[in-house]
Every structure is written in C-alpha cells, then in structure tokens.
Amino acid sequence: MHNAQLQNDLDAIIATQAGLMAIVASLMATHPQYERLQLHLTGLLEILLTGAAGITFTDAQRQQAREFVETLQQLQKAPPIDPLQSLLDL
C-alpha cells in the first residue's frame, strides 16, 4: 500500500470512530435507565479487558479502550425534551 492509501484508510477509521462516538454518546445521554446503563458499561468493560476476550489485547489497547469508555462515562444524563412545551408558551 502507498502512503496516500494508508492515510485515506486512517482518515476513514478516525471519521468513523468520531461518528460512532457521537451516536453512542447520544444514546447514553438519553437512555431511559441512565444509571443502570452506566453500571452495566463499567462491569462489561472490566469483563472485556480482563476476561478471555481481552487476552489478545495489548496493554496499550486495553488502556485506550478504558480511556474511550471513561470518556463516554463523563456524559451527563440529558434533560427530558418536551416537544409540546413551545405550544404551552404561546
């Protein structure tokens, strides 16, 4: 592969990750059982990184996965949206 092709592939991976992070962040922030989601995410991360599934990960990959999830866990629960509220303000 040439450098330009590798750069294009890397750019696509970075853009895809950014898009997926935005989608997951939105889903997390608006989840109806936000606290349960956070607890489940914490437990699942530990199972993934320390269990059989994580055996093939390098230490750097484990750290990157942990930092990614911890970044998402900084999200605050989104306030409820009432689409009819603007009508009540008329």
**Cβ-proximal residues to 48 (8 Å cutoff; 6+ apart), any chain:** 54, 65
31 and 39 in contact (C-beta within 8 Å)?
no
Residue 27 maps to a domain: yes
pLDDT for the residue 1? 65
Tell me whether residue 45 is in a domain: yes
Model pTM? Answer: 0.67
The tally of domains found in the chain comes to: 1
DSSP state of 58: -
pLDDT digits (tens, 9 = 90+) for 12-70: 999 999 999 899 999 999 999 989 999 999 899 989 898 888 889 999 999 999 998 88
Which pair of tokens denotes residue 19?
């898009």
Judge whether 82 lies within some domain.
no
For residue 14, the model assigns a pLDDT of 93
Domain containing 51 equals: 3-75
Check whether 77 has a pLDDT greater than 80: yes
End-to-end alpha-carbon separation of the chain, Å?
61
- Strand residue runs (E) in 3-81: none
Residue 89 belongs to some domain of the structure: no
Task: Output DSSP code: residue 89.
Answer: T
